[in-house]
């Protein structure tokens, strides 16, 4: 089950190789935290399109997919994949529900500590409230367009599956621009968000599979 949930995070949820050289140590970490907290506090909903690129050591090319992400406070999150297949994942704080071409399965988050930890991590990442130093060692960097928080898990259960996470924030509005998740085996996943909309009406029905 641990591997299942870790895989879900990778499916759902920049790169050192493409942009790492122009990042420098962040000059004003308290100011960045204030901006991030302000954004997270005033944001009630987020909609965005996303592109996901999964890099596997056994493959020469990335596995690419795309779709739309919906977030609604206090803890509703949906990943709706449309290419190259139709696939949906909903997290509501208590359950993970998966809709695979009309076949729906549910998993209780409370059955596992790591389920709970990773559920919180996903929600907080999308909301922009992921900087929890009781769970991560964090290195802060920046360039002219982005802020970067490099998170290394402290909890051993999470470290078994996630080596570290890079979260990139847009300097204009402190929203998450992209996420890069590195697995312990060396594979990694990059998710880039576009067309972000904030505080628009989203029905609770969007987060249920009828």
Q: What is the phi/psi pair of residue 18, to 5°?
A: -100, -30
In a domain, 200, yes or no: no
In a domain, 13, yes or no: yes
How do residues 146-203 score in pLDDT, each as one tens digit? 999 999 988 777 777 788 889 999 999 999 999 888 886 778 889 999 999 999 999 9
What gap in Å lies between CA 106 and CA 86, rounded to an integer?
17
pLDDT reported for residue 112: 64
In a domain, 21, yes or no: yes
Range of the domain at 140: 2-195
Domains in the chain, number:
1
Q: Place 5 in a pLDDT band, splitting at 50, 70 and 90.
A: low
> What are the residues whose beta carbons fall under 8 Å from the beta carbon of 30, sequence distance 6 or more?
none
pLDDT reported for residue 136: 86
In a domain, 77, yes or no: yes
Q: What is the phi/psi pair of residue 37, to 5°?
A: -65, -40
In a domain, 203, yes or no: no
pLDDT reported for residue 27: 96
**In this model, does residue 127 exceed pLDDT 50?**
yes
Unique residue bearing structure tokens 């972000």: 196
Q: Give percent of the chain with pLDDT exceeding 70.
A: 84
What gap in Å lies between CA 17 and CA 30, rounded to an integer?
28
What gap in Å lies between CA 23 and CA 148, rounded to an integer?
8
CB 190 within 8 A of CB 180: yes
Q: What is the phi/psi pair of residue 138, to 5°?
A: -125, 135
Pick the more confident residue, 68 or 103. 68
CATH of the domain at 62: 2.50.20.10
**Coil, helix or strand for 118?**
helix
DSSP for residue 126: H
């Amino acid at each position: 089950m641990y591997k299942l949930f870790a895989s879900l995070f990778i499916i759902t949820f920049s790169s050192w190789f493409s942009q790492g050289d122009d990042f420098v140590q962040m000059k004003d970490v308290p100011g960045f935290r204030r901006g991030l907290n302000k954004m997270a506090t005033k944001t009630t909903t987020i909609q965005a399109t996303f592109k996901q690129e999964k890099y596997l050591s056994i493959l020469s090319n990335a596995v690419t997919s795309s779709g739309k992400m919906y977030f609604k406070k206090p803890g509703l999150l949906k990943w709706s994949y449309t290419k190259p297949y139709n696939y949906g994942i909903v997290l509501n704080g208590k359950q993970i529900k998966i809709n695979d071409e009309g076949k729906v399965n549910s998993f209780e988050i409370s059955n596992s500590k790591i389920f709970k930890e990773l559920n919180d991590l996903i929600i907080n990442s999308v909301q922009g409230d992921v900087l929890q130093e009781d769970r991560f060692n964090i290195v802060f960097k920046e360039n002219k367009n982005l802020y970067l928080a490099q998170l290394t898990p402290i909890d051993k259960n999470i470290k078994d599956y996630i080596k570290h996470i890079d979260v990139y924030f847009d300097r204009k509005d402190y929203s998450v621009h992209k996420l890069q998740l590195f697995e312990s085996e060396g594979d990694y996943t990059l998710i880039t968000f576009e067309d972000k909309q904030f505080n628009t009406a989203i029905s609770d029905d969007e987060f249920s599979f009828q």
